[in-house]
Structure 1
């Protein structure tokens, strides 16, 4: 396996991680911003108010996006397995 192939696999692996993690991170960010805005508008300064909605939103996002994540990850793993079988 050449150095270019290794770098291509590493680059593709980083993109796979970004694509898989993006839905969860975006939902967590949006829920956090909405709750922070709500806290600022109502002057509620409760630090634990953020955690339960964020955890629930992330859990629901994971449940809904797991098939998508699995398909992306299995495709990447299949390409790696094919490269291993063919010797590079």
Structure 2
């Protein structure tokens, strides 16, 4: 396996990791920002007010994007497993 193939495989893995984590992290970020703005406007400093909505939003994002995320990781894993003979030689 050449160094270029290793770098290509590593970059594909990082891209897949970014695609897997992106929707969840972005939704948590946006939710946290909106709740922080609400707390700053109303001066309510309740910790559960930030935690529970984030958990609910992440849960719904995983329900909505779950099939796509699962298809993405299974496709990448199958590709890796089919390329094992090429990697070893």
TM over 0.5: yes
Structure 2: how far apart are the matches of 1:69 and 1:60? Answer: 13
TM-score, with structure 2 as normaliser: 0.90
Does residue 1:49 correspond to 2:49, yes or no? yes
Q: How far did residue 48 of structure 1 move?
A: 2.4
- Map 1:16-55; keep pairs closer than 5 Å: 16-55=16-55
TM-score, with structure 1 as normaliser: 0.91
Give 4+ residue runs of structure 1 displaced > 4 Å after superposition: none
Match of 2:76 in 1: 76
RMSD, aligned CA? 1.0
Match of 2:3 in 1: 3
Gaps of 5+ in 2: none
SS of residue in 1 equivalent to 2:44: coil
